[in-house]
Structure 1
């Protein structure tokens, strides 16, 4: 069956798609998320909560339709390769139009519970994060997924260090520019040699792991559309900012105990640098506010504090 997608970013188009894919849901309530027009076909995708019980992913252009189908195949393969991973329950998958329908789970993104994590909860939260990543990064999982899905892409950070050297300096204070250049040099050194290769989530930030607000236990890992073959350190690159350095280092410790392997914190921070500054760069150049409504210069100050807390330059 040929792959197709919705006619446009409207609730009506979503409902028409449901009539073709899951008729029993077509007349239910539809609460869209991110249903906005885009000039870039890469971002012509969104999700919706249907009937309060299901999450539907859909697209109105070919590139995101391909990602939806890819994610569906990854989820199906992981059910066998890593059955203990807390993944969404897939209800329906379709190609015409591309839709992925999953059962909704009452859980909260990490960004909305992290302020609740105190000293008493930190070890448990770190263990949950480490356990999920250790399960995903098991070498046998990569083999099984590659056999089921075929060649996997290699996820990468938002920007290269060459891009940051060339374009980021105009966004920050003059006294920060040499510092950023030195970080880019250090990142190049850290990543000069190849690392181990595992299956990585590819976008393991605080909106993509969901938690029980009462117990502070990890309930669900979502949005595997960028899953691919990469190094373990790549998947931990968001944690220094999302979790804070204390929780991040405890997660690293638990991960190493669970896997019997060592993580290179310099590599994690090299990916962290490229991700954080790359995110700030594209948003600034596109005229899009940073998520916390601060400035790239303030993000550089945050990075400097994280490097200092880790005892790295």
Structure 2
């Protein structure tokens, strides 16, 4: 896991969760410590550790006022539990609590998976170019596996609407923009209109992770294998190319501005956008032209998410992550990049 940092605000209090762990039959030795980890600025992640070095992971919603339907850790836990017996690697869910005596918000307890999260340049620089390449290859193969999950078999066929996914995404994230924006943006409004006008029909329906990128994966640096896929908060049912579009939106290339915390992929060994897309499309047989639409929508969506992160950080400074908070310049840069790709694609 990534390096820990103290949870000085006690958003998850060891004294309050200790009785809950006892009820779950989880043996804890000596003092229990809890530290916030990761760069996540939505649901908050913590590592709990006892005196013998046993570790567990906790997830809770962010602090402050939340948008309706967002940050649902209980739904997230349901998805991960459903995937436990599939070939998609996920941590085991050990407990879910909505008891105010345990935490002031819903709390999920899960297995701690050993490995590395490549969310810092310092971590990624310890790997060879070949190791970085192998991790990226496993990342794409793992995403293709997510899109093969039998929804009926795992009980997730009712996870979300089966209506056209592009329209659902545009409606949801347009609403989130209106609720969380810190200023007006005619460029984003124009891009939204173009995406609506070019929205493709629904051709297939699969499980969609919704936020698939390097920071949400635990890797085995020795083999390049992905040991666990994390952060299923935005998971839904929809067009699988949407996940590739979002991955490309987050994937920084050398010489181009990166979102805070996502500059790792500029290092030697990590493949280009074109190489990532080729591996995924070759494995799945999906359409390269259709992917261009979802790349544009992915950038648009990431811009809206970044604006929400900025809003939450302004409203509640305790929600700020160690990687920093997106700026309006970064968000506007995402929109500009999306508009250029849209121009080239005829969107």
**Shift of residue 120 of structure 1?**
4.6
In structure 2, how many angstroms separate the alpha carbons of the residues matched to 1:14 and 1:281?
33
C-alpha change, 1:88 and 1:294, in structure 2 (3 Å) is closer
Q: Does the CA contact (< 8 Å) of 2:146 and 2:207 recur in 1?
A: yes
**Shift of residue 294 of structure 1?**
4.9
**Shift of residue 149 of structure 1?**
4.7
State how 1:1-313 maps to structure 2 within 5 Å.
9-25=12-28, 27-33=30-36, 47-51=46-50, 52-57=53-58, 67-80=72-85, 82=86, 84-90=87-93, 92-93=94-95, 100-112=108-120, 116=125, 120=130, 123-138=133-148, 141-145=150-154, 148-149=155-156, 151-153=158-160, 156=169, 160-161=173-174, 170=183, 177=186, 179-213=187-221, 216-244=224-252, 247-262=272-287, 264-286=290-312, 287=314, 292-305=324-337, 308=340, 311-312=344-345
DSSP 3-state at the match of 2:58: strand
Q: Does the CA contact (< 8 Å) of 1:87 and 1:222 recur in 2?
A: yes
In structure 1, how many angstroms separate the alpha carbons of the residues matched to 2:235 and 2:220?
24
Higher alpha-carbon deviation: 196-205 or 158-167: 158-167
Aligned length: 285
Residue 39 of structure 1: aligned partner: none
**Structure 1: 5+ residue stretches without partners:** 1-7, 35-41
**Structure 2: 5+ residue stretches without partners:** 1-10, 100-105, 162-167, 254-270
C-alpha change, 1:303 and 1:213, in structure 2 (3 Å) is farther
DSSP 3-state at the match of 2:183: helix
In structure 1, how many angstroms separate the alpha carbons of the residues matched to 2:302 and 2:96?
35
Over residues 244-284 of structure 1, what are the superposed CA-to-partner deviations in whole Å (9 max), with x where a residue is unaligned? 25533322211122222225223322332332221233234
DSSP 3-state at the match of 1:32: strand
Q: Does the CA contact (< 8 Å) of 1:53 and 1:103 recur in 2?
A: no
In structure 2, how many angstroms separate the alpha carbons of the residues matched to 1:163 and 1:123?
35
Q: Does the CA contact (< 8 Å) of 2:195 and 2:297 recur in 1?
A: yes
DSSP 3-state at the match of 1:110: coil
**Shift of residue 96 of structure 1?**
7.5
Under a length normalisation based on structure 1, what TM-score does the superposition of the two structures give? 0.71
**Shift of residue 297 of structure 1?**
2.3
**Shift of residue 68 of structure 1?**
4.6
In structure 2, how many angstroms separate the alpha carbons of the residues matched to 1:273 and 1:161?
13
**Shift of residue 198 of structure 1?**
0.2
C-alpha change, 1:46 and 1:16, in structure 2 (3 Å) is farther
Under a length normalisation based on structure 2, what TM-score does the superposition of the two structures give? 0.65
Q: CA RMSD in A?
A: 4.1
**Shift of residue 307 of structure 1?**
6.0
**Shift of residue 301 of structure 1?**
2.4
C-alpha change, 1:88 and 1:165, in structure 2 (3 Å) is closer
DSSP 3-state at the match of 1:180: helix
**Shift of residue 199 of structure 1?**
0.8
- The structure carrying a bigger helix percent of its residues is 1
In structure 1, how many angstroms separate the alpha carbons of the residues matched to 2:174 and 2:239?
18
**Shift of residue 27 of structure 1?**
4.0
In structure 1, how many angstroms separate the alpha carbons of the residues matched to 2:80 and 2:179?
39
